[in-house]
Amino acid sequence: MQILAVVVCYKKLFEESETLQCLCEALAAEPELAAAYKLLVWDNSPEQLSSPRLPVPFTYRHSEQNLGVSGAYNSAQQIATEQGYPWMLLLDQDTKISREVLFTMLRYGTNLLARKEIAAIAPTVRVGHIVVSPKRQLYMRNRNYPAGECGVAAGEAIAINSGCMLRVEALRTIGGFSPEFWLDYSDMYVFHMFFRHDLKVWRAADATIEHKMSIMDYDHLMTPWRYTNFSMAETAFHDLYRDRFENALQTLRLFARAIKQRFKYENPEFSRIAWRQWLYRVKTSKRQRLTNWQANSTGRK
């Protein structure tokens, strides 16, 4: 069995990508990993690299139009289908992944290959000391699972893209990643679709990955443009897939968030964006918000 490891890059040199450096070190040092993982680097940067190089075999693809992580993963899914890979390991450019994690994910991929109901294998992902993935959607909040517990995740499980291993067949079942959620909430959409199709997530709690997330570091990684995009995707996801009570609660959360961010972060623009999003939800009907969202998505395409 072979796994397609997909690394999505954007405006970053290969030697600056922590993910690619970790992968190259692991694959060069471990023949078993080199035989099991086939590396695909998907580049969403405006300019295509003329002669990309890595110390291990890899395939390089450049997208003429940046369709975000969703476009990259959907294209990788087509490659995986054509070449017969049963699993795709999704990675962004700033994930610290060890050879131990690669071995663990390979073991789970092999052992769970015949269990078609398992759509995803999700390791524990930490930002510093905080566990950010996987989480359980319960009582309208993202809640932690019991630490160290491996097996099928209870309830509606969500996980971030980077570090997750997805079954290619399961992705085809749900129609792949959503072009509308091209960047933010792309993972929320996929895992919600898995849940709606009664597909399961396996918790690989014995594999831990260190990751950087802009949503966890407003003073250094987050930008106003990215936060605006995140806020619009968050609103659209709630409008599409959450009930009336959850939407009302989300509007209240935005109000509290705007106040909190004004005092918590150096850049006051984040608070202003939250205020604008709150006003948008209050003054604009759900139907009109969805019309605007779909029109913006069509415009991007």
pLDDT in tens, 49-101: 888 999 999 999 999 888 899 999 999 999 999 999 999 999 999 899 999 99
Question: May I ask the CATH class of domain 3-212?
Answer: alpha beta
The residue whose two tokens read 């491996």 is 150
Contact between 186 and 68 (Cβ < 8 Å): yes
**Average model confidence (pLDDT) for the chain?**
95
A 10 A CB-CB count for 175 gives 11
Domain ranges (residues) in the chain: 3-212, 216-300
pLDDT in tens, 110-148: 999 999 999 999 999 999 889 999 999 987 789 999 999
- pLDDT tops 70 at residue 184: yes
Residue 301: which pLDDT band, with cuts at 50, 70 and 90?
low
- The stretch 210-237 carries a mean pLDDT of 91
Contacts of 147 (CB under 8 A, 6+ apart): 131, 205
Three-state DSSP class for residue 231: helix
- pLDDT tops 90 at residue 152: yes
The secondary structure element, H or E, covering residue 7 is: strand 3-9
